[in-house]
Amino acid sequence: MHRDCFERLAVLLWKLTTNVAAWIKLEGVQAEMEEDPKPGIVGMIEDWASPGIEIPKPETDSVYRVKGWGRRRGERALVYLIPNHANRSHPHEKGVTESEWKQAYDRLIQKGELRHFWFRSAMVGCCKEGSCNFTTIGGVFVALGIAARQERGLYRKA
């Protein structure tokens, strides 16, 4: 391996393993890394949501599982599987988009809570796909340790 290839590989490894902004200087070339030390909500979900992981859901015996990342409403979304009681071998798919995750997270942080009635009016497309998206958002936030379910239709900031 040539020396410059090794140095470039070292730079890439550094970028992959650090979450702080840093200046790297190799042979007179400066490369600036601008990474947020705290990943946003989508980054937190990406770290947590491996395919097959169960999404905590209140008041149901059914298991909801992450399928992976796909597309919903024209953008990247976390897609999950819900039981199809008519045909168990073909579960239904639902999803929450990146912008919807950000919107719900911002609401939780700014107001200290997520309420189902807010979800219905503020996240119309997400709600239209299925009101189970509300408990999915809440369940993922609970799994991440950033929210706690208080009662039906209400999650509070943890």
53-70 mean pLDDT: 93
Provide the pLDDT for residue 26: 37
100-115 mean pLDDT: 98
Provide the pLDDT for residue 61: 86
Provide the pLDDT for residue 49: 95
**Structural domain boundaries in the chain:** 3-33, 41-157
Q: Give the pLDDT band of residue 21 (cuts 50, 70, 90).
A: very low
For residues 81 and 79, give the distance between their C-alpha atoms in angstroms, rounded to a whole number.
7
- What is the sign of the dihedral through the CA atoms of 54, 39, 141 and 84? negative
Place of tokens 């990474």: 35
- What is the sign of the dihedral through the CA atoms of 15, 17, 23 and 29? negative
Provide the pLDDT for residue 11: 53
* Cα distances (angstroms) measured from residue 124 to each of 30, 76, 96: 46, 17, 12
Residue 22 in this model has a pLDDT that exceeds 60: no
Place of tokens 């189902």: 116
Provide the pLDDT for residue 36: 46
Q: Across the chain, where does the E strand assignment appear? A: 22-26, 29-33, 65-72, 75-82, 92-97, 113-115, 147-151, 154-157
DSSP tag of 34: -
